[in-house]
Amino acid sequence: MPNAYYAVFGHPVSHSLSPRIHGAFAQASGIALDYRRIDASPEDFHAALQRFAADGGRGANVTLPLKELAVAACSTLTERARLAGAVNTLAWSDGQWHGDNTDGAGLVRDLTSRHALDLRGRRTLLLGAGGAARGVAPALLEAGVGELVIVNRNPARADALSDALGQPGRAHSRYWEDLASLGDFELIVNATSAGRSEHDPLLELPFSLTNDLTGAVDLNYGPASIPFLAWARAGGCRVQIDGLGMLVEQAAESFQLWHGQRPDTDPIYAELRAPRDASAAIS
């Protein structure tokens, strides 16, 4: 039988910090771990996943743009993956893939535990309706945010996510063109890919969305998060948070699912954060 190993699937995926994060978790937990990056296009994803299982793959993380495609590969889904309509964590058992989505739990844990944000009652704007947005929306509602307004450049996707959440009095969609007339929010979450590549134009957002209590959160980290967080600073948002902490916390959820242990996330978060903070101080 092939040796068991783990991987992160994405396209592209060379930038992923997941191998470093899971390697640190494994070392601290005394677990021998083989964790790799696998670049798979949407067209090749299911074939690549089959090869991965045949070669000994027993667990995988899934990132952009494959999270929604991963749903179809699963025989079972957790409730949070079903609600999200997207999978970021796969576990192989009894010859089948089982899907979970740890993004929302990772985001809420980062915001509430690491950054001490009280999410309850916050009027919240969710920018985007793809796999990342679908992963965090149910968790934000469960964490107690007030009104959740979903805006996407493709309005049909925003409508679909709003319908899937099943809370019409609390979660609803609006048109991107209406952003300037939506009023202000206590929490703004950017779940779009804007700024991630030359093919994704930067967001153009009105400052009327913010007030002096607003927390601005980008699910991206590194260079991709710079444009939105710069907008948030210019708009006077009280708090600006990138997606690095969420990345670490969702990885910890996956690690616990696969290995039965929840790792301490603070050491690897501090290690990853240090060079970014130094770079920000220099610039």
- Per-residue pLDDT tens for 245-266? 999 999 999 999 999 999 999 9
Length of the chain, in residues? 283
Question: Which segments are annotated as binding site?
Answer: 16-18, 63, 79, 88, 103, 128-132, 219, 221, 243, 250
- 233 exposure class (CB count in 10 Å sphere: 0-12, 13-18, 19+): exposed
Give catalytic residue positions: 67
Contact 161, 170 (CB under 8 A): no
CB atoms within 10 A of CB 69: 19
Strands in the chain per DSSP E = 5-10, 35-39, 57-62, 76-77, 89-93, 96-100, 124-127, 148-152, 171-175, 187-190, 215-218, 239-241
Q: What is the pLDDT of residue 53?
A: 96
Please choose, from the candidates 163, 150, 2, 140, the residue with its C-alpha nearest in 3D space to the C-alpha of residue 85: 163
The C-alpha atoms of residue 43 and residue 69 are separated, in whole angstroms, by: 10
Question: Which segments are annotated as binding site for NADP(+)?
Answer: 79, 128-132, 219, 243
- 134 exposure class (CB count in 10 Å sphere: 0-12, 13-18, 19+): buried
Contact 56, 283 (CB under 8 A): no
Contact 127, 192 (CB under 8 A): yes
Q: What is the pLDDT of residue 152?
A: 95
Residue type, 202: L
Low-confidence ranges of the chain (pLDDT < 50): 1, 197-199, 278-283
Question: Which segments are annotated as binding site for shikimate?
Answer: 16-18, 63, 88, 103, 221, 250
Cis, bond preceding 227 (omega within 30 deg of 0): no
Strand-strand pairing, 89-93 and 96-100: antiparallel
Q: In the structure encoding, which two tokens stand for residue 149, read together?
A: 């307004």
Residue-range domains of the chain with CATH:
5-101 (3.40.50.10860), 104-243 (3.40.50.720)
Q: What is the pLDDT of residue 74?
A: 98
The C-alpha atoms of residue 263 and residue 22 are separated, in whole angstroms, by: 9
Q: Classify each residue of 137-165 as buried b or exposed e, where b means 16 or more C-beta atoms within 10 Å of its C-beta.
A: bbbbbebebeebbbbbbebebbbbbbebb
Contact 89, 62 (CB under 8 A): yes
* Beta strands across the sheet bearing 171-175: 171-175, 148-152, 124-127, 187-190, 215-218, 239-241
Please choose, from the candidates 181, 171, 190, the residue with its C-alpha nearest in 3D space to the C-alpha of residue 127: 190
Contact 143, 120 (CB under 8 A): yes
- 66 exposure class (CB count in 10 Å sphere: 0-12, 13-18, 19+): buried
The C-alpha atoms of residue 121 and residue 141 are separated, in whole angstroms, by: 10
